[in-house]
Amino acid sequence: MSILVVGSVALDSLETPFGTADDTVGGSAVHFSAAASLFAPVQLVGVVGDDYPVGELDFLRDRDVDLSGLETVEGESFRWKGRYTHDLSAPETLETRLGVFADFHPRIPDAFRTPDIVFLGNIDPRLQLEVLERVEKPRIVACDTMNFWIEGSRDDLLRLLERVDILMVNDGEIRQLAEDPNLFRAARWVQERGPSRLVVKKGEHGAVLFDREEIFFAPGYPLDELNDPTGAGDSFAGGFLGFLHDVDEVSSGTLRRAVVFGSALGSFAVEDFGVKRVAALRREEVAARVRELRHMTQFEVAPAAASSH
306 is a domain residue: no
pLDDT value at position 91?
84
309 is a domain residue: no
pLDDT digits (tens, 9 = 90+) for 19-75: 899 999 999 999 999 999 999 999 999 999 999 999 999 999 999 999 999 999 999
Range of the domain at 190: 3-300
75 is a domain residue: yes
pLDDT digits (tens, 9 = 90+) for 273-296: 999 999 999 999 999 999 999 998
- The CATH number assigned to the domain holding 285 equals 3.40.1190.20
193 is a domain residue: yes
76 is a domain residue: yes
pLDDT value at position 40?
96
- Furthest CA-CA distance within the chain: 73
Closest to 31 (Cα-Cα) out of 202, 220, 238 = 238
147 is a domain residue: yes
Q: How many domains are there within the chain? A: 1
pLDDT value at position 24?
94
169 is a domain residue: yes
308 confidence band (pLDDT: 50, 70, 90): low
308 is a domain residue: no
pLDDT value at position 307?
61
pLDDT digits (tens, 9 = 90+) for 105-149: 999 999 999 999 999 999 999 999 999 999 998 999 999 998 889
pLDDT digits (tens, 9 = 90+) for 185-237: 999 999 999 999 999 998 888 899 999 889 999 988 888 878 889 999 999 99
pLDDT value at position 309?
53
Chain centroid to CA 31: 8
DSSP string covering the chain: --EEEE---EEEEEEETTEEEEEEEE-HHHHHHHHHTTTS-EEEEEEEETTS-GGGGHHHHHTTEEEEEEEEESSPPEEEEEE--S-TTSPEEEEEE-GGGGG------GGGSS-SEEEE-SS-HHHHHHHHHTS---SEEEEE--HHHHHHSHHHHHHHHTT-SEEEEEHHHHHHHHT-S-HHHHHHHHHTTS-SEEEEE-GGG-EEEEETTEEEEEPPPP-S-----TTHHHHHHHHHHHHHHHHT--SHHHHHHHHHHHHHHHHHHTTSSTTHHHHT--HHHHHHHHHHHHHHH-----HHHHS--
Phi, psi of 32 (to 5 degrees): -60, -50
pLDDT value at position 136?
93
